[in-house]
Structure 1
Amino acid sequence: MSMPPAPALELEDLHVASSDGISILHGVSLSLSPGEVLGLVGESGCGKSMTGATAMGMLPPGLSLRSGKVRIGGQEVQDLDELALSRLRGQKIALIPQDATASLNPTKTIGKHLTEGLRRHRGMSPEAALTGARELLERVGLTPAEKWLREYPHQLSGGMNQRVAIARALTGAPDILIADEPTTALDVTTQAQILDLLLGLARTRNLALLFVTHDLGVVAQIADRVAVMYCGRVVETAPVKAFFAAPLHPYSAGLRASIPPLDARRTIVPLPGTVPTPGALPEGCAFHPRCGRVLEQCRKDRPPLEAFGAGKVACYAARAPA
């Protein structure tokens, strides 16, 4: 009997806080296997992007990892210095940003963006890096590659720049990709092309892909598993089919119900209320003021994330006897 592959990425009990003591992440734990696509979902302000930034060791100024562990390929990296972390970024783990155009240097050609990464991460000669850049552009569907190598970011569309950002993330041949809302600003056709590209990379290169999004429709297309975040906590994880068949947490069910339906007989049911700010979370379960299934225990105690059904859920109501 073969053993399951070791996780490519493990996040264990991450606690992130600001310099003035406001907690942003509260005990986030996730794992991601080689070749797996994990959709990390939730409303804006729930901690999705912050989780990705913590995994990358790229927290914004004023925020720090107070406790918890980040393991990349089994190696703990949270205490590495900046030089050691910079070697890991690109070679082991890479980020595809939300706004690809803004992330690219407008004074550099596309070829320069890619050859610099290939020379830094793989130690290639200028000639080999140029060949590698052509191959990367072809891999992400920008052909003829020779034309795009000479162009600047402002000469490309948003979808083309997103492909360049993916190619740049691949310059170090990483094992893990974190895609932070990479399709938000794209039209539907381009979005589908980018999703197909990312899914193909995960499958053919055995990449672990953490896909950060607020769009459950995208998750249904691309993910193997789903992790739902609310107020800096993971409140549910499940295989994607089980999740969409019967989400366990009332927040997950609310997100599911707010997806525009293909069936005209089903109406959209928006979630009531808004996400509270990190410094003003309610007692007990942070979702209870918005929850239609709230129990008295929910108002007092914070539910732990525990195995239930096909996945895990942090909800007293979901685990209560029917």
Structure 2
Amino acid sequence: MGYRPRDRELAIELALELLATGRVRGIPPNHRPAELERLLGRPFDEGLLHFSGNLLRDWGLLEAYYEREHEGSPWHGTLLMGQLHRMPKPLKWKDIARELRRLGYEVTPEPQPTLEDDYFRVCESGAGAVVNGKDTGWPRGHIAKISSSDWLPVWSPSAPYDFNAVHRRIYVVTAEPERSWTAWLAAQQPESHSQWFRLAHRAVHTVAREHPEREPQAAALHDWLLSQAEAVNVLSDVEQALLTARCADGRFPFDALPARPGSPSPDAIIGRCLAVLPLTREAAQSLPISWRELTPADVQRSKLTRALLTAAHQVREKATTQELIDELAAWDDVLPTIC
């Protein structure tokens, strides 16, 4: 089975479903190897990547990537990748994008001024497409790759701020006294632009990772910035909950910061995530199975629900309130069925 490079109809369906929902035949990036194999058969090839030790399974136009906590523990999926450049005549991006927009999905460009290819993202699913640009050696305007990961960005990638510039300013201010931060913040983004806070939050974690000697200052600045963002309501309740949970989890790109007074407890993190879930269990269970019957709003709510539950699960073992533990556990049989 799988996706052979000359099977154009299957390639179109793969591209549309992967971009619209982030899934392949209803299977999300975060899955067990047997789940995808049950639908597609044995992969054409598979092996361990030398640089990471992760598992790569190849079904022709589709690749699936897996990681595990340690040798001997089970594999779990992290990334689905459509390798459409392997087709003798790759699909034209304008045709796929037109169909996605006809179905109601928001497709936005992701500016990458230093790269030759063009990049696009479907806002509802978070899936991205790489489209051949100029001087790449491939036909211009054709789809090269499509990717969907279990890491969901919850904001539009386009913004008037440059991460490298924000990163440099964050690095500088971590050496400044806390009493100067209010004036510094006003000078950086006088309109309290939400994307600035997102980039600054990511930059604080980057500075702490790259300069361990500044971890205490970075942690204090991190908490202060999030409190400022919450005070002016530039981030949604869903995003606030998701950022808090991901910070507590400590996985890249939000590497763990030093323990400090006032950090939210696992119970508080789980409770906050559960309180802002866009879907109830009943609503999630009633969603259509076929991706073409899902609306863009269904996909977006499913993705945000999955992201919040996944983030909450990372601190589940440290929770102490049984009611919260039970409420989170009640989603275990539903989570695999949503986008």
Asked whether the two chains share a fold, i.e. TM above 0.5, the reply is: no
The structure where strand makes up a greater share of residues is 1
- Give the TM-score taking structure 2 as reference length: 0.28
Higher relative contact order (CA 8 A, sep 6+): 1
- Give the TM-score taking structure 1 as reference length: 0.29
